[in-house]
Amino acid sequence: MKSAIYPGSFDPVTYGHLDIIKRASEMFDEVIVSVLDNKKKTPLFSVEERVKMLEETTKDLTNVKIDSFSGLLVDYAHSIHVPIIIRGLRAITDFEYELQNAQTNRVLSNGTVDTLFLTTSLEYAYLSSSGVKEIAAFHGDISHGVPPLVEQAILQKFPKES
Ligand code: PNS
C-alpha cells in the first residue's frame, strides 16, 4: 500500500489544504494528514480542534486519515513507516522555505524520507491560514477561504462586540 503524509499546522484548514488533500488522495492508497503540535507557537485552535475540523472536512475521502505529531517530522515518518511527505506550493516564496525543509528532512533521514510537492490550484493560490485569521479578526468575509464549519469555529474565536 502506498501511503503519504501531509503534515502542517492547519490552524485552521483552508480550501487550499483541502484541494491538496483531495488530489493527494487520488494519487496514494492512503493519505495521513498530520497536525503539528508545536509547543513553541500559540495557535488559534488547539490540536484537538484542528484534528476535529480536518476529520469533518475530509469525511467523504475514505482513504484520508487524520493524526497529530510533535517533534521532528522524519521521526514521525519513521514511527508510522511512511517515507513520503506531501507539501503544497503556492508561490516562489513557499518554494525557498519548502526546498530547505525537504533537503533538511532528506539529510536528517539519511535519504529515506522524500518530499513531493503539489502546486496549489490557482483559485486558492492567494489563500493562507494566517490571512484567513487576519480577515476574521477584523470581521471580514472568510467564506471564500474556509468551509462553513471552519468559518463558524473562527467566528466564535472573534466574536463581534455588541
Ligand atoms: O503548515 P506549516 O506550518 O507550514 O507546516 C510546517 C511543518 C509542520 C511541515 C514543519 O514545520 C515541520 O515539519 N515541523 C516539524 C519539525 C521538523 O521536523 N523540523 C525540521 C524540518 S524543517
Give pLDDT tens digits for 135-146: 999 999 999 999
pLDDT the model gives residue 40: 87
- For ligand 1, atom 18, name the residue with the nearest CA: 72
Give pLDDT tens digits for 96-124: 999 999 999 999 999 999 999 999 999 99
- Predicted TM-score (pTM) of the model is 0.97
- For ligand 1, atom 7, name the residue with the nearest CA: 8
Test site for ligand 1: of 9, 37, 38, most ligand atoms within 8 A of the Cβ: 9
Using CA atoms, how far apart are residues 96 and 46, in angstroms rounded to an integer?
Answer: 28
> Which residues belong to the active site?
17, 41, 90, 129
Which grid cell sits at 91? 508561490
* Nearest ligand 1 atom, CA 104: 21
Query: Would you give the end-to-end CA distance of the chain in angstroms?
Result: 54
Q: Which residues of the chain have pLDDT under 50?
A: none
DSSP letter for 118, please. Answer: E
pLDDT the model gives residue 50: 98
Domain range list for the chain? 3-125
Using CA atoms, how far apart are residues 56 and 85, in angstroms rounded to an integer?
Answer: 22
pLDDT the model gives residue 162: 58
Using CA atoms, how far apart are residues 43 and 160, in angstroms rounded to an integer?
Answer: 20
* Nearest ligand 1 atom, CA 100: 22
What CATH class has 3-125? alpha beta
